[in-house]
Structure formats: structure tokens, C-alpha cells
């Protein structure tokens, strides 16, 4: 078996804002496996400034994996524990190689174009007019679950935008999720969550910066609206540490980004631990290209998840890889009449 890796620089259609800054480009990498008869591909979707494997030796480790592909998946997966996005790409590539179609990793009604998954519409940070424009676009497109980034502009403006939504739509008509990306301090978070709760918010993602377990535990215990851990899961290795985090913080939800937590194998461990503790969860992409998004979406469908997932990021880029993934009226599907563009 031969293994190689390549890099792609994805360009955002428009600069996209989070509380960590403005995103204009996104690097990603692919692992390709080849035998005389078949090939498989997986995406290593490390995200600069956020992934725990954003390290100077990232490509060195990718090359090491390719050079030692003969060790097999299980041995390699264990060896690269501190590189969860490479674990994800490697796992996907092996599944792809073993499949009849390298892009049909988890055959189902979804891949047969017989079923779809509900997803949320994402509103990026910006000034009030920009965010309102995005909101109108998402509502016109038929989304009934909106996720809004908060923490970058004036908080009163963000509340005003939420008020605009709630004046037009009840919580039964439009589900509202907000994502702070750790923008609130422990001192200000309770009052800000109180203000948000007035608008029937489904949940808030990562209100505090990760690593403040005691503060986050206190917030989750007394919160007026459900809290979902996201970045908190990054860099938490091993079952015992994962159990310790969930037992101490006891969040209402966790959010699974396979590229951040060791692929599907790592995500399944989090799901098992969450289910044992009656902690809810959903799956989101992490700004991967359509290669990674396709794999994550197909896998997520097999879980029979509850509620909208965060899988609507495929249209963010000007140079994404063309795929059969389609988003219509708040659902993501797989249109078998559409073809994949050539993978180099």
C-alpha cells in the first residue's frame, strides 16, 4: 500500500468572523491510500489557532504516517494520539479504501438519496447590518434552526438581533442556538446568560474559555439556559480524563467535531460517556472541505441523532471540491446525480 499527503488552501467567499478573529483562508490536508486495485482518501482538518495539533511538526507527522502506513490503522492511530485531525484523516482514508465507492463510506438511505439530515443555519459575527442580512438569507432558505456567533460586536446589538428574530418567530417556529467561542469572562457570564435566556435560546456553546473547569461547572449548575461544551473537549485525551471532565462540569450538551477529537473512534467514546450521564450531544463540522464534511455527515446519519446538526459549512469556500452534498430548506442531503470533482 502506498500513502501520500497533499495540502489545499481553501478561500472563504467572504471573511467570516468569530470571537477569535476573522477567517479568510483555511488550510487542510488529505491522506490518500493506494493499492493496485483501489484508492481511498481522508481529510486532516486541523484548524490554526484552535486544534490541539496546530504544531510546527504537523506535516512532519503526516509524512511519518505515510512512511509507516504498513503498520496498519490501529497501530498508527494509537501512535498519533496527540494529532486528532490526522487520526480523523487516517481513519477516513482506511474506510474509503475499503469501500466500493471511495466517497460512499457509510452506505445508508442518506447516500442513496432517500433521506436527509436537519442542520442549523450559521450566522457569522459582524456588524448588526451584516448579521441581519445573513439572518434574512437563512430564513429565506428555509432553516428552522439558527446558530448565531456572539461575543464580537456590542452585546446589546447581539441581543437586539435575537429580539428581532423572536418578535417574528416563536421558539416552536425557529430554534435559536448561540455560540460564544469562549468570549465571556466567568464574572460576566451569569448576567449575559440571563439576558440571552429571555429569548428562548435552545443552548449556548462554550460561554467561557476552555480550561476553567470549576467556573464552567458552577455556570452549568446554575445556568438559565443549557450549555454545550465545544472547545472544552479539545486536547482531552484518554477515557479517564474525558470522564473526569464530564463528571466535574456536568454540561447539558457536548458538541462533537471529529477532526478535533480523534475522528469517529474518538467521537464514539465521547458519545458513550455522554449517554451514560444523560448528557445530550450533536455533531458539527470544523470547516473541512467537502471531503471531510461528506465523511462526517455520512457517519452522523448512522447515529440517528436528535435535532439539527452543525453540518452546513460546505458552501463557505470559493474553491471547495465539488460533491453530491446539497443543502435545501435546512436539510443536508446526498444527490447521486451529482458527481465529485477530480481529486489530485
Query: What does the alpha-carbon distance between residue 200 and residue 321 come to, in Å, rounded to a whole number?
Result: 37
Q: Euclidean distance between the first and final Cα of the chain, in Å?
A: 18
Please determine, looking at this structure, whether the domain spanning 2-98 carries the CATH number 3.30.390.10. yes
Candidate list 26, 138, 147, 149, residue with the active-site label? 149
Residues near 176 by Cβ (< 8 Å), separated by ≥ 6?
Answer: 145, 146, 148, 162, 165, 166, 199, 200, 201, 202
Query: Can you give 127-153 as a three-state secondary structure string?
Result: CHHHHHHHHHHHHHCCCCEEEEECCCC
Least confidently predicted of 68-77, 164-173, 295-304: 164-173
Give the pLDDT band (50/70/90) at residue 297: very high
The chain-wide mean pLDDT, for the chain, equals: 94
C-alpha cell at 252: 447539558
Candidate list 26, 138, 242, 257, residue with the active-site label? 257
CA dist list (Å): 188 to 178, 184, 211, 265: 16, 6, 17, 37
- pLDDT of res. 252: 98
Q: Assess whether 149 carries a catalytic annotation.
A: yes
For the chain, domain boundaries: 2-98, 117-334
Give the pLDDT band (50/70/90) at residue 203: very high
In this predicted model, what pLDDT tens digit does every residue of 205-226 receive, in sequence order?
999 999 999 999 999 999 999 9
Please determine, looking at this structure, whether the domain spanning 117-334 carries the CATH number 3.20.20.120. yes
Task: Say if residue 131's pLDDT is above 90.
Answer: no
Query: What does the alpha-carbon distance between residue 280 and residue 255 come to, in Å, rounded to a whole number?
Result: 9
In this predicted model, what pLDDT tens digit does every residue of 152-161 receive, in sequence order?
778 898 899 8
In this predicted model, what pLDDT tens digit does every residue of 90-106 receive, in sequence order?
999 999 999 999 999 99
> Bigger pLDDT: 181 or 311?
311
Q: What is the pTM of this model?
A: 0.95
Amino acid at each position: 500500500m502506498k500513502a501520500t499527503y497533499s495540502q489545499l488552501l481553501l478561500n472563504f467567499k467572504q471573511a467570516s468572523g468569530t470571537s477569535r478573529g476573522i477567517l479568510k483562508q483555511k488550510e487542510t490536508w488529505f491522506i490518500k491510500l493506494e493499492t493496485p486495485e483501489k484508492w481511498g482518501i481522508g481529510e486532516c482538518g486541523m484548524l490554526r489557532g484552535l486544534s490541539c495539533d496546530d504544531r510546527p511538526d504537523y506535516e512532519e507527522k503526516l509524512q511519518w504516517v505515510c512512511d509507516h502506513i504498513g503498520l496498519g490503522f490501529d497501530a498508527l492511530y494509537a501512535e498519533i494520539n496527540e494529532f486528532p485531525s490526522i487520526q480523523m484523516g487516517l481513519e477516513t482514508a482506511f474506510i474509503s479504501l475499503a469501500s466500493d465507492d471511495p466517497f460512499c463510506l457509510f452506505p445508508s438511505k442518506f447516500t442513496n438519496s432517500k433521506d436527509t439530515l436537519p442542520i442549523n443555519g450559521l450566522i457569522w459575527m459582524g456588524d448588526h447590518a451584516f448579521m441581519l442580512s445573513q439572518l434574512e438569507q437563512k430564513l429565506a432558505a428555509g432553516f428552522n434552526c439558527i446558530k448565531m456567533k456572539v461575543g464580537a460586536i456590542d452585546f446589546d446589538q447581539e441581543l437586539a438581533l435575537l429580539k428581532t428574530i423572536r418578535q417574528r418567530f416563536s421558539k416552536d417556529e425557529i430554534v435559536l442556538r448561540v455560540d460564544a467561542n469562549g468570549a465571556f469572562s466567568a464574572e460576566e457570564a451569569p448576567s449575559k446568560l440571563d439576558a440571552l435566556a429571555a429569548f428562548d435560546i435552545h443552548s449556548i456553546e462554550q460561554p467561557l474559555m476552555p480550561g476553567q473547569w470549576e467556573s464552567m461547572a458552577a455556570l452549568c449548575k446554575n445556568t438559565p439556559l443549557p450549555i454545550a461544551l465545544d472547545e472544552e473537549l479539545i486536547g482531552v485525551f484518554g477515557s479517564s480524563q474525558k470522564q473526569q471532565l464530564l463528571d466535574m462540569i456536568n454540561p447539558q450538551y457536548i458538541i462533537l467535531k471529529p477532526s478535533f477529537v480523534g475522528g469517529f473512534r474518538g467521537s464514539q467514546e465521547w458519545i458513550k460517556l455522554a449517554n451514560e450521564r444523560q448528557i445530550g450531544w450533536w455533531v458539527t463540522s470544523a470547516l473541512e472541505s467537502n471531503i471531510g464534511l461528506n465523511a462526517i455527515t455520512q457517519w452522523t446519519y448512522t447515529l440517528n441523532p436528535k435535532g439539527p446538526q452543525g453540518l452546513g459549512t460546505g458552501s463557505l469556500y470559493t474553491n471547495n471540491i465539488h460533491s453530491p452534498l446539497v443543502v435545501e430548506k435546512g436539510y443536508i442531503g446526498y444527490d447521486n446525480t451529482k458527481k465529485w470533482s477530480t481529486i489530485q
